[in-house]
A and B are shown apart, each in its own frame.
Chain A
Amino acid sequence: MTKGIYGVIAEFDNPTALVSAARAAREKGYRKLDAYSPFPIEELTDALDLHKNKLPLIVLIGGIVGGILGYALQYYVTVVYFPINVAGRPLHSWPAYIIITFELTILIAAISAVLGLLALCGLPMPYHPVFNVPRFALASRNRFFLCIEAADPLFDRDRTCEFLETLEPREVSEVAH
């Protein structure tokens, strides 16, 4: 970023303060902002309008792929690759295929849920600018943070700091890159 910092961050004591701060920042017109909390907060998801994500679609596709893969594997092995004729019973014995089809559906769907989670969150990401804020270690304990990023068109180093100060945080600090 040309401005040299990642953004400014404000620290709050409780989830209520964080949610109202996030709402106020959205109302003010800031869009490039993120909140950090030690546990998921439903209202924060609402305030930042984060309800839509692609994970259900990824898992659905994973499940369908898994199911098709499971059935096709069994069909191929028992009908094409390694057919065994037992007393003239049909080679394509679909009722016996159900369980493995089901298990592979669950398996691939679950794996895509976890990989999808990591991909959508951009993890693993061992380094992130917010970690430069010394007090940020408390974000995984008992403090709540709101960060307005420098990439926001409305961002201005001083005015954004002043705005965050009006939200009555414990502390406002700049986030270095």
Chain B
Amino acid sequence: MSELGPKPAEFRQELARLAASSLNIEERGAAILEQLGRVLSFDVGWLAVRDPERSRHVPVATTGSAAPLQDYFARPEADEEVDRLGLNRRRPPMLASESPIPLPELRSWADHLIPAGFQQGLAAGLFTPEGRLIGSLRLLSGDASRPNDADRRLAAAVTTAIATNLDRTKDIAETARMLHSASAGVVLTRGGDVLPLPGLDDARLLSPGSRVLAVAAEELAQSGPYISFLARTPDTQAEQLVRVVALDFSCQVLDHLSAAVLLCPPGDVRGLTTLDLRVLGHLVEGVSDVSALAAALGVPTPTVFDSLARSLTALGTADLTVAAVRAVSGGIRLPPGLVGEP
């Protein structure tokens, strides 16, 4: 670090300041390019996040005349060329002059950048400390001598810090922590992938393909941006409950991250039994007829009567509709979709 002189340290300090701010991704991106412009010489700066599920880059900030670069990345074959150059893998930033493929043979340079008068450039994949690809940085110059090797070293010293700034899972984790004392959590992607949340454990209940994740995703699709319900924890003899909370974080225009699913302490279930919570789970899905509830749960009708009476008392109402609303908003229910979990 120190052989690079004070520049990268100051720059990284500024990047840490940005990461601790409440600025959004676009604002951070613009600030990062501005800071880069103070220490590196380039004509065009372009910073993008990558959506691996749509194989495309979404620019969050640009400086200079970035149109030729924007045109190139708007083309469907761009991601494939980025991949061919090895830039979607963890590696040091690459100068255009060091490209393993001659520039005139690359569509980016042949069709877009050379005609626009660019002579040199730098390309860097942005990886988090855990090695997840977040996005990409491109710098372009009409001067063949910049960016040079020293510039490349400086860029290499800051790419991880830039990735941290553009990583939305960090903000998602912070929000999860603010709202709930979550013990575990994951991020769902639009395509159904499951990603870790910084600082939170994953858990068996939240493994890819689990019933909990399926129910959470299904319910979010029919709700506002927040849902909460109870689930039974596996691996324990005694009945133990855990609260599942799901929060919609999708930002369609930006990336593939869709929702956070968290496991939290169950909170006060007001003395209700597992059966009561299952009855409430059916009730909020519209099964309010006692004999239908009995059939759905495989218990005698009088048992359902008793259970509903307990729930009404516990939820502080004499009205089944109010009970159903409170069971939904307080997450006091075991969804029927969890049967046969995990």
Same complex: no
Question: A interface vs B, CB < 8 Å?
Answer: none
Question: B interface vs A, CB < 8 Å?
Answer: none
